[in-house]
Structure formats: C-alpha cells, structure tokens
Amino acid sequence: MTTLTWTILAMAAVTFGVRLWGLTLPGTRLRGIGRRFLDHVPVAVFAALVAGGLPGSDAVDGAWRFAAAVVTALVAVRAGGLGPGLLLGLVLYLGARALGWA
C-alpha cells in the first residue's frame, strides 16, 4: 500500500474513533452541569453551522441569503419539519440569483 492509502486509513481511524468515543462515553449517567451542557449542544451546533455557512459573497448576496433564512425560519415555525422551509428558502434565493438580483 502507498503512503496515501495509509494516510487515508489513518484519517478514517481518527474520524471513526472520535465518533465512537462520543457514543461510548457514559453521557446518560451525567448529572448537573455536564448534563445541562449536553442539553445545549444541539442548539449551539446548529446555530454555529448556520452562522458559518450563511454569509454571502457581498452585501447584496448576503441580504438575499438572509431573506432566504428568514423565510426558512418562518416556515419551520409554522409548518415544522425540514423540507418545506428549506425548499421555500432555496427557491427564493436561487430565484433571486436567476433574475440577477443576488
């Protein structure tokens, strides 16, 4: 095997190991601040992923991406689920791009 093959295998091992480590830790037995910390992880992760990916390439593009996010959030509140909000936000943003507005 080549060095690159070994490197990919090692990358796979560290990725798998980190994921398995988390799944194996006794999170169910956590109490107090540790438990409350894990309670807040999903909200924190999702917010960080949104903020990291949402900014646009310039002010106009950013404004349309923000508008798409507002639409997605409103539909998610009203309809629930992932699909409807995602679809409408995407249609708004890609529509604006197709029309040359974003």
Partner 1 sequence: MAGSPASAGFGAGFRAMLPLWIGVVPFAAAYAVSARAAGLDPLHAQLMSLLVFAGGAQFAAVGLIAAGAGPWTLISTTFLLNLRHLLYGMVVARTTELRGARRLLAAHLLTDEAFGVHVAHGRGRPAFLVGAGLSLFVIWNAATLAGLVLARSLPDPQAIGLDIVFPLAFLALLVPLVRGGRTLLVASVAGLGAWGLGAVLEPGAALLLATVVAAGLGAVASAGPREAP
Binding site for partner 1 (CB under 8 A): 3-12, 14-16, 18-28, 30, 33-55, 65, 68-69, 72-73, 75-77, 80-83, 85-87, 89-90, 93-94, 97, 102
Rounded least distance, CB 5 to partner 1, Å? 7
Q: Is 85 exposed, middle or buried (0-12, 13-18, 19+ CB in 10 A)?
A: buried
H/E stretch holding 40 reads helix 32-53
Rounded least distance, CB 59 to partner 1, Å? 15
Owner of token pair 């924190």 = 44
Rounded least distance, CB 27 to partner 1, Å? 4
